[in-house]
Amino acid sequence: MEKEIKNLREQFKKSLAALKTRKELLIIENEYTGRKGIVAQMLKRITSLTPEERPRAGQLLNQIKKEFQDALIKKEKEFSQEGCREEEYIDITFPGQNFIQGTIHPVELILKATEDIFLGMGFTIVDGPEIELDYYNFEALNIPKDHPARDVQDSFYVTPDILLRTQTSPMQVRTMENQSPPVRIISAGKCYRRDSIDNTHTPMFHQIEGLAVDEDISLADLKGVITEFCKQIFGKDRIIRFRPGYFPFVEPGAEVDVSCGLCHGKGCSSCGNSGWLEIMGAGMVHPHVLEMVGYDAEKYTGFAFGMGAERIAMLKYGINDIRLFFENDIRFLTQFK
Ligand code: PHE
């Protein structure tokens, strides 16, 4: 029987090598190692052998059965891998899939452009909390509890002392508390006010704050910095003007206008015939604010400014309704690249 087993192994090897399909594999499996297969038949025939021959034959047959089974499993695996490859097959001549690429939100574009411009002028970027203490949002900015300036900046209160910040100006105080002059920072982010929604108001919007404190900082520095910013954001031909404006944390305070890009100051429908467009609040940091953070107000002076990112975007891109920024209509959003 030993010879027979040897031949069987050869025969099996040949059949296995000739295998082409899974179906054939099942047939061969049945033929060799199945319940009524060749190996099973031979095992039955062991009884016809002499008692001396039986153990060796049994051992060899079990061994070969195991051998066949292993080889069949291996082959089966090869088949399933090929099947998998078939499914993953890529036709490189097929037209590619078109991915719809997103665009950066226009407000984000303005924030990034503004940050870049001020980084170029030696400012650094700082970030602050949107959930803010009343102290930083108002108190330390010269706006005590009973101050009328609070009326136009009503907010969403978490507790009587904690609110959603109404402006980025608290970052002036937070920055000065943490570092001594010279200070040159800008800080951009979301702000919140209890405003009714219309084409120029949304309860959430973005502000960009700037602050510079050092010895000998004057209004001229503020004008220079804002002029440079406007030229880079809106175009070289733009000029700015300062009008007196009141903010409790600056003295003197100003509203800054940029010349209208359409009529260049002559007056047209887009600038309400004035020739100017209001873009930000600004001024020289109030000595009291400096003192409250422990700065020597005799030695140091500074300027600060704050602008609405949506407003800048509206002016730059000619958008007439602030609500468009938050409706997430991709027909609107994909226009800004
Ligand atoms: N935070 C002010 C506002 O929201 C703007 C401002 C900032 C004015 C800095 C002066 C200086 O109206």
Task: Evaluate if residue 333 carries a pLDDT over 60.
Answer: yes
Binding site membership of 169 for ligand 1 (Cβ less than 6 Å): yes
By the 8 A CB rule, do 123 and 184 touch?
yes
d(CA 170, CA 176): 10
Q: What is the pLDDT of residue 205?
A: 97
Q: Torsions phi, psi of 268, nearest 5?
A: -150, 180
Q: What is the pLDDT of residue 215?
A: 97
Binding site membership of 250 for ligand 1 (Cβ less than 6 Å): yes
Enumerate the domain spans of the chain.
2-88, 106-336
The rounded mean pLDDT for the chain is: 92
- Give residue 209 CA to ligand 1 midpoint distance, Å: 8
Q: For ligand 1, atom 9, name the residue with the nearest CA.
A: 305
**Best residue for ligand 1 mutational test, from 155, 169, 205 (most atoms within 8 Å of Cβ):** 169
Q: Which two tokens stand for residue 22?
A: 């899974």
Q: What is the mean pLDDT of residues 284-292?
A: 98
% of residues, the chain, pLDDT over 70: 98
pLDDT tens-place string over residues 85-100: 555 667 788 888 888 8
pLDDT tens-place string over residues 212-228: 999 999 999 999 999 99
Q: What is the pLDDT of residue 88?
A: 65
- Give residue 166 CA to ligand 1 midpoint distance, Å: 10
- Give residue 128 CA to ligand 1 midpoint distance, Å: 16
Q: What is the mean pLDDT of residues 158-180?
A: 97
Binding site membership of 138 for ligand 1 (Cβ less than 6 Å): no
Q: Which two tokens stand for residue 105?
A: 């939100």
Q: What is the mean pLDDT of residues 305-317?
A: 95
pTM, two decimals, is: 0.72
**Neighbouring residues of 105: CB distance < 8 A, sequence distance ≥ 6:** 325, 333, 336
- Give residue 3 CA to ligand 1 midpoint distance, Å: 100
Q: What is the mean pLDDT of residues 124-139?
A: 98
d(CA 250, CA 242): 14
Q: Who wins on pLDDT, 6 or 224?
A: 224
Binding site membership of 247 for ligand 1 (Cβ less than 6 Å): yes
49-53, 157-161, 185-189: range with lowest mean pLDDT: 49-53
Q: What is the mean pLDDT of residues 25-46?
A: 87
Q: What is the pLDDT of residue 280?
A: 96
Q: What is the pLDDT of residue 5?
A: 86
Q: What is the pLDDT of residue 101?
A: 83
Q: What is the mean pLDDT of residues 112-123?
A: 97
Task: Evaluate if residue 127 carries a pLDDT over 80.
Answer: yes
- Give residue 210 CA to ligand 1 midpoint distance, Å: 9
Q: What is the pLDDT of residue 52?
A: 87
Q: What is the mean pLDDT of residues 39-55?
A: 87
Q: Who wins on pLDDT, 324 or 65?
A: 324
Task: Evaluate if residue 24 carries a pLDDT over 90.
Answer: no
Report the CATH superfamily, name and number, of domain 106-336: Bira Bifunctional Protein; Domain 2 (3.30.930.10)
Q: What is the mean pLDDT of residues 262-269?
A: 88
